[in-house]
């Protein structure tokens, strides 16, 4: 199927917008109640739904709770199970680090270690990004024979480390025990091929501890998500699209870059994203707009705040519509119900608006209404195919 689609795709001037409310799907706060999306006042989304085909999608598969990267890969049209992506790669790509095949990247969190070397704060008191950048600068002093080490700040206590050298392998276990009062774990090789990389990581951690010794609360580092650059065909190769990502958070720029999107830097909020959309309109044919905070408030367990974030995006919607996209998808990358405070496997509502749709009579954009829509429950990667088909970018198969 993938091969057929690749052969059938052809570029045209039609514009597609994918508007993602991260963690959009929710659950009722109480039995018999409404979800966050059903609670939110969304006059613009409701009106758009009434002129759209609606449904629910499963980003990875039935019963699978998607991480952020797989959730987005699905929306970009990839089977996430075919393209496992490590956290380290997402982080490195997110800050625009030019990773090469064979590099091994890992997420690095600054942490506080007590006198006995046990973790007392996994986030080093949430040091500000400036401090993080300063510490990364200090870690430039780490030297490991035969390996080039790069440490770059991401945000707050988060950074990324990339090892470059011959014969490295990413099958190394996390050092973050995800618990307090215990020592960080050793970076253990999960495959004989990764023995050397594990030793490199061990040496790096030891050197970092020396350099950071006086930098309380950031006197230790935790590494996780060791990963090499995966080979993912780009959206240009697959779909002949020229896509751009308008995301505030680095990780989403990272996933976007992994599928060959250009990712715009320094977008602070929806306001900036809207301006960027307008200024880039003529240069691209696929626009990925990402709103993070629906997920954040879901993770916080703050139902009302998640409702407000949805309403913010609803208020933003007219700016997207003003561009007159030929096709607009509004959806999420997974569900993050406030009552669960975490990603869940629940299907995610979507609407697909274009001239060439059969509106299905859904006039309220919500999980249960979308479930009664034209598409029922479909795999997430189908959305992009429909978008390509309904904009004439996917040609006829067979005589």
Spatial distance between the Cα atoms of 214 and 216, rounded to a whole number of angstroms: 6
- How many C-beta atoms lie closer than 10 Å to residue 62's C-beta? 9
Is the Cβ of residue 107 or residue 131 nearer to its own copies in the bound state?
Answer: 107
Confirm or reject binding of residue 35 to its own copies (CB under 8 A).
yes
Confirm or reject binding of residue 62 to its own copies (CB under 8 A).
yes
Confirm or reject binding of residue 346 to its own copies (CB under 8 A).
yes
Confirm or reject binding of residue 343 to its own copies (CB under 8 A).
yes
Confirm or reject binding of residue 269 to its own copies (CB under 8 A).
no
Dihedral sign for Cα atoms in the order 99, 103, 109, 113: negative
Confirm or reject binding of residue 47 to its own copies (CB under 8 A).
no
Among 10, 11, 81, 213, binds its own copies (CB under 8 A): 81
Confirm or reject binding of residue 85 to its own copies (CB under 8 A).
yes
Check residue 125 and report its DSSP letter.
G
Is the Cβ of residue 152 or residue 343 nearer to its own copies in the bound state?
Answer: 343
Among 130, 179, 283, 397, binds its own copies (CB under 8 A): 397
Of the candidates 272, 286, 388, 274, the one whose C-alpha atom is nearest the C-alpha of residue 320 is 274
CB of 362 to its own copies, least distance (A): 11
- How many C-beta atoms lie closer than 10 Å to residue 9's C-beta? 19
Contact mark string toward its own copies, 220..259, x via CB under 8 A:
-----x----------------------------------
Spatial distance between the Cα atoms of 254 and 92, rounded to a whole number of angstroms: 7
Interface region with its own copies, contact rule CB under 8 A, candidates 93-101, 203-211, 293-301, 363-371: 363-371
- How many C-beta atoms lie closer than 10 Å to residue 148's C-beta? 11
Q: What is the DSSP string of 59-96?
A: SS-TTPPP-HHHHHHHHTT--TTTS---HHHHHHHHTT
What is the side-by-side strand order in the sheet with 16-21? Answer: 262-263, 243-246, 286-291, 16-21, 327-331, 348-354, 53-58, 377-379
Confirm or reject binding of residue 190 to its own copies (CB under 8 A).
no
Confirm or reject binding of residue 341 to its own copies (CB under 8 A).
no
Q: 362 near 370, Cβ under 8 Å?
A: yes
Of the candidates 55, 109, 134, the one whose C-alpha atom is nearest the C-alpha of residue 378 is 55
Among 16, 45, 60, 212, binds its own copies (CB under 8 A): 60
Determine phi and psi for 63, rounding to 5 degrees. Answer: 85, -5
Among 11, 12, 43, 51, binds its own copies (CB under 8 A): 51
Q: What is the DSSP string of 130-160?
A: HHHHHHHHHGGG--BTTBEEEEEEEETTEEE
Confirm or reject binding of residue 394 to its own copies (CB under 8 A).
yes
Q: 247 near 227, Cβ under 8 Å?
A: no
Confirm or reject binding of residue 290 to its own copies (CB under 8 A).
no
Confirm or reject binding of residue 95 to its own copies (CB under 8 A).
no
Confirm or reject binding of residue 376 to its own copies (CB under 8 A).
yes
Confirm or reject binding of residue 344 to its own copies (CB under 8 A).
yes
Of the candidates 16, 18, 17, 24, the one whose C-alpha atom is nearest the C-alpha of residue 333 is 24
In the numeric block, which tokens belong to residue 310?
């949805």
Confirm or reject binding of residue 66 to its own copies (CB under 8 A).
yes
Confirm or reject binding of residue 61 to its own copies (CB under 8 A).
yes
Confirm or reject binding of residue 211 to its own copies (CB under 8 A).
no
| 115: helix, strand or coil | coil
- Nearest 10 degrees: Cα torsion 172, 178, 179, 180: 90
Is the Cβ of residue 147 or residue 383 nearer to its own copies in the bound state?
Answer: 383
Among 39, 68, 109, 175, binds its own copies (CB under 8 A): 68
Is the Cβ of residue 217 or residue 326 nearer to its own copies in the bound state?
Answer: 326
CB of 158 to its own copies, least distance (A): 13
Interface region with its own copies, contact rule CB under 8 A, candidates 76-84, 124-132, 136-144, 263-271: 76-84
Q: Could you list the residues that contact its own copies (CB under 8 A)?
A: 1, 4-5, 8, 27-28, 31-32, 35, 51, 60-70, 80-81, 84-87, 90, 225, 337, 339-340, 342-346, 356-361, 367-368, 371-372, 374-378, 382, 384-386, 388-390, 394-399
């Amino acid at each position: 199927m993938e091969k057929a689609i690749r052969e059938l795709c052809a570029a045209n001037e039609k514009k597609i917008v994918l508007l993602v409310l991260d963690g959009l799907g929710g659950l009722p706060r109480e039995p018999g109640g409404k979800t966050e999306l059903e609670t939110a006042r969304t006059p613009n989304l409701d009106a758009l739904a009434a002129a759209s085909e609606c449904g629910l999608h499963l980003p990875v598969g039935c019963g699978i709770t998607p991480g952020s990267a797989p959730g987005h890969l699905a929306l970009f049209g990839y089977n996430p199970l075919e393209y496992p992506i490590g956290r380290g790669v997402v982080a490195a790509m997110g800050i625009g680090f030019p990773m090469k095949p064979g590099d091994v990247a890992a997420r690095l969190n600054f942490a506080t270690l007590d006198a006995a070397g046990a973790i007392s704060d996994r986030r080093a008191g949430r040091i500000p990004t400036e401090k993080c950048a300063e510490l990364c600068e200090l870690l430039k002093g780490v030297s490991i024979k035969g390996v080039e080490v790069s440490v770059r700040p991401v945000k707050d206590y988060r950074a990324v480390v990339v090892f470059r050298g011959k014969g490295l392998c990413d099958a190394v276990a996390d050092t973050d025990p995800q618990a307090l009062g215990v020592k960080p774990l050793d970076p253990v090789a999960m495959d004989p091929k990764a023995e050397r990389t594990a030793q490199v990581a061990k040496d790096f951690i030891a050197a970092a501890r020396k350099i950071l010794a006086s930098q309380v609360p950031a006197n230790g580092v935790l590494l996780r998500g060791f990963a090499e650059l995966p080979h993912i065909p780009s959206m240009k190769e697959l779909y002949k699209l020229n896509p751009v990502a308008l995301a505030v958070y680095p990780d989403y720029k990272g996933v976007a870059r992994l599928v060959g999107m250009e990712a715009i830097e320094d977008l602070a909020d929806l306001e900036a994203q809207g301006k960027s959309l307008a200024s880039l309109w003529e240069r691209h044919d696929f626009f990925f707009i990402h709103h993070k905070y629906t997920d954040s408030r879901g993770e916080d367990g703050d139902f009302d705040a998640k409702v407000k974030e949805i309403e913010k995006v609803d208020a933003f919607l007219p700016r997207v519509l003003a561009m007159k996209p030929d096709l607009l998808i509004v959806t999420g990358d997974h569900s993050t119900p406030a009552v669960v405070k975490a990603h869940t496997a629940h299907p995610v509502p979507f609407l697909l608006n274009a001239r060439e749709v059969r509106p299905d009579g859904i006039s309220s954009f919500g999980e249960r209404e979308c479930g009664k829509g034209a598409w029922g429950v479909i795999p997430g990667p189908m959305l992009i195919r429909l978008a390509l088909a309904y904009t004439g970018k996917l040609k006829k198969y067979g005589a």
